[in-house]
Amino acid sequence: MRKTALITGAAKRLGKAMAIHLAKQGWNIAIHFNTSELDAKRFCEELTTSYPNQQFGIFRANLSVMSEVENLFPQVIPAMGPVDLLINNASVFEPATLAKTTSDFLERQMNVNFRAPFILTRNFARAFTSGVIVNFIDTRIVTNQSNFAAYSLSKKVLWEMSKMAALEFGPNIRINGIAPGLTLPPEEKTEDYLWKLAGKIAMKRPGGVDPILKSLDYILNNDYLTGQLLFCDGGENLGQTNE
């Protein structure tokens, strides 16, 4: 029987790349989106045309609204059947130091980046007896740099929750994380932005999406791996080089 993946924030960018990658391997995909309805619809049509024997569906939820988060699996399961893989990919990435972080801003970052993956992880474990969860973290969790304070903190706590969940929900549900580094530039920036930042990391170049897809495959294919974080960041977590 075909397996089904639910990927949050799958209408664009990394989420979309993972959806294409898994669809090529025969997976059914539940494409979650929030504002990118047109992209999600078009993408779903493209996948359906390319892989007519597989099932694809689109599901909207604003992950900063907890009632919508709670309602995501109840939308997906009747349409797609049991879910074997949950990828908590959607996030908001907005700059602000601690001093400049308002309570609304903090709430939005924590809701989308931590509370939603927490509730979805819990709801996955309530609904299914086996499966895999991949939580998207960020290499920034190793630093205390505060230019994206709320974002970084939301990812730190998401990683702590992932380890706790791996212990509680094993052996049949495995939970791992991927911590990307310089992968895709923010939508308003170009590749140059990443190349400038790459000068001080060990690998001296941005990674693009391929290394992330390889990390995803590694997690899926290694059924003894749980509670692990794959830093897929060209060594950025090691710190900055001298020159």
Ligand X SMILES: NC(=O)c1ccc[n+]([C@@H]2O[C@H](COP(=O)([O-])OP(=O)(O)OC[C@H]3O[C@@H](n4cnc5c(N)ncnc54)[C@H](OP(=O)(O)O)[C@@H]3O)[C@@H](O)[C@H]2O)c1
Considering the complex, what minimum distance in angstroms separates the CB of residue 21 from ligand X?
Answer: 13
Considering the complex, what minimum distance in angstroms separates the CB of residue 14 from ligand X?
Answer: 3
- Specify the residue, 23 or 216, whose C-beta has the smaller distance to ligand X: 216
Site map 132..151 versus ligand X, x via CB under 6 A: ----x-x-------------
C-alpha to C-alpha distance for 126 and 223, rounded to whole angstroms: 21
C-alpha to C-alpha distance for 206 and 129, rounded to whole angstroms: 38
Considering the complex, what minimum distance in angstroms separates the CB of residue 195 from ligand X?
Answer: 13
**Helices (H), ranges, the chain:** 13-24, 37-50, 66-70, 72-80, 103-110, 116-127, 149-169, 191-198, 210-221
Site map 57..96 versus ligand X, x via CB under 6 A: -----xxx------------------------xxxxx---
C-alpha to C-alpha distance for 194 and 187, rounded to whole angstroms: 12
Q: Helix 116-127 vs helix 149-169: angle between axes, to the nearest 10 degrees?
A: 20
Listed in sequence order, the residues at least 6 apart from 195 whose beta carbon sits closer than 8 Å to its beta carbon are: 205, 206
- Spatial contact of 92 and 101, defined as CB atoms under 8 Å apart: no
Considering the complex, what minimum distance in angstroms separates the CB of residue 223 from ligand X?
Answer: 24
- Specify the residue, 35 or 172, whose C-beta has the smaller distance to ligand X: 35
Does residue 213 belong to the site contacting ligand X (CB under 6 A)? Answer: no
Considering the complex, what minimum distance in angstroms separates the CB of residue 183 from ligand X?
Answer: 3
List of residues contacting ligand X (CB under 6 A) = 9, 11-15, 33-36, 62-64, 89-93, 112, 136, 138, 180, 182-184
